[in-house]
Structure 1
Amino acid sequence: MEINVEEFDRVAREVFAPVYPVIAEQIKQKTGITRGTCLDIGCGGGYLGIALAGITELFIYLFDKSPEMLEIATRNIAGHGLQKRARTLLGDVHEIPLKDQSVDLVISRGSIFFWENQQKAFQEIYRVLAPKGAAFIGGGFGNAELKKLIDARMGQKDRNWQERINKNIGENAVETFVKTLGTAGISKFEINRGEAGLWITIWK
């Protein structure tokens, strides 16, 4: 799927900006992982990974298949003074260019809905996770108040916005993800779906 990189990043900065620190705190509270290595899949400009770096001691890989997105992420790393704590990584979730059991935490907001083969992607994520590692993946908006705000703003930009949200995190999403995770051979997971979106937590 081709995207307009500049427009995508502008929306991330102008519309979704309040979401990243909230989700970063949720990741920290849910997983309890604050040290080691983190992989932010489909990072775009790196906003979620950078927010998490600000409240933990994690080293962050900002991982995306778009070189243009990673150029923006590189600028954002420098802008936050994180050159020693973060770096970009080019590649695809279906073939993550990292060693087995080399990552303590995997995070991703929004990219899961663009994965061509979710089963293969989950298997790759599980492969790179270290023992006692965790993954926090999904399509959340932080909290119900932020979701309402974003729905209103995105609805003005995209008339199909609500339809896409319902497709991605609607009533059937949990059942679909349970089946996909099972097929991927992952047994230790939790799926939370509420007013603020949907998150999958995987433990190893």
Structure 2
Amino acid sequence: MNVCEFDNIAREVFAPIYPVIAEQIKQKTGITTGKCLDIGCGGGYLGIALASITELYIYLLDKSLEMLEIAASNISAAGLKTRMQTFFADVKKIPLPDQSINLIISRGSIFFWEDQQKAFEEIYRVLAPGGVAYIGGGFGSAELKKQIAARMEKDNKNWRAMMNKNIGENAPEAFTKILQNTKIAFFEINRDEAGLWILIRRRRDEM
């Protein structure tokens, strides 16, 4: 799938989920100020939705320069140039200082990380005391997931199998094994009809 095709799907088919997931992130993490990092941001749609309901300064990270160009254009169109910026980097080597980010988010990119354990370790490295990472693959609600699946399955016969692999009933166990190999002190994995999310927290007294 080329960048334009990917962005068209994100902007059109997936458009309804970003405000819903942004609100869920706000409610479940309670973090509305400080610095946020969106990993595998694509066109920046989730980050922009989150910026619109919080006071967070948001970094958009992606390893595709073409996607970051789209994200930069979307930031400008949303009038958020003073509160958002893009980073060209890989999740395995995040170009930010230790314990510098209050909230880390990522929707969908986790399934494409080449080394998930290393990625989680990098995420934890930059997570500030009291910070939360909210990472996974969700659709906001079961109804939205159903609507999107109906559209995606028309053009992609492997869609259902891919979703079962990524967020199916066996996924929590697979992610648990990976996370247990890290030094992350606290994590939880939540899976329901709308998707799967991993929450990682760094305690305020943890250095």
CA deviation map 1:148-170 (0-9, x unaligned): 00000000121100000001111
Q: CA deviation at 1:187?
A: 2.6
Find the partner of 2:175 among 174, 177, 188: 177
Tell me the equivalent position of 1:32.
30
Equivalent residues in 2 for 1:78-117, closer than 5 Å: 78-117=76-115
3-state SS, counterpart of residue 174 of structure 1: helix
Tell me the equivalent position of 1:162.
160
Tell me the equivalent position of 1:118.
116
In structure 2, how many angstroms separate the alpha carbons of the residues matched to 1:173 and 1:57?
A: 33
Structure 1 portions without partners, runs of 5+: none
The percent identity for this pair of structures is 70
Read off the aligned partner of 2:81 and give its amino acid letter.
Answer: Q
Find the partner of 1:201 among 179, 199, 202: 199
Tell me the equivalent position of 2:144.
146
Find the partner of 1:68 among 66, 71, 95: 66
Read off the aligned partner of 2:15 and give its amino acid letter.
Answer: A
3-state SS, counterpart of residue 139 of structure 1: strand
Q: CA deviation at 1:190?
A: 1.1
Q: CA deviation at 1:195?
A: 0.3
In structure 2, how many angstroms separate the alpha carbons of the residues matched to 1:29 and 1:107?
A: 14
Read off the aligned partner of 1:172 and give its amino acid letter.
Answer: N
3-state SS, counterpart of residue 138 of structure 2: coil
In structure 2, how many angstroms separate the alpha carbons of the residues matched to 1:171 and 1:104?
A: 30
In structure 1, how many angstroms separate the alpha carbons of the residues matched to 2:192 and 2:185?
A: 22
Could you list the runs of 4 or more consecutive aligned residues of structure 1 that deviate by over 2 angstroms after TM superposition? none
Equivalent residues in 2 for 1:46-61, closer than 5 Å: 46-61=44-59
In structure 1, how many angstroms separate the alpha carbons of the residues matched to 2:156 and 2:77?
A: 30
Q: CA deviation at 1:185?
A: 1.6
| Equivalent residues, number | 202
Tell me the equivalent position of 1:19.
17
Equivalent residues in 2 for 1:125-140, closer than 5 Å: 125-140=123-138
CA deviation map 1:70-102 (0-9, x unaligned): 000000000000010000011000000111011
CA deviation map 1:17-71 (0-9, x unaligned): 0000000000000000000000000000000000000000000001100000000
In structure 2, how many angstroms separate the alpha carbons of the residues matched to 1:148 and 1:187?
A: 35
Q: TM-score, normalised by structure 1?
A: 0.98
Structure 2 portions without partners, runs of 5+: 203-207
In structure 2, how many angstroms separate the alpha carbons of the residues matched to 1:15 and 1:167?
A: 21
Read off the aligned partner of 1:128 and give its amino acid letter.
Answer: V
Q: CA deviation at 1:178?
A: 0.8
Read off the aligned partner of 2:25 and give its amino acid letter.
Answer: I
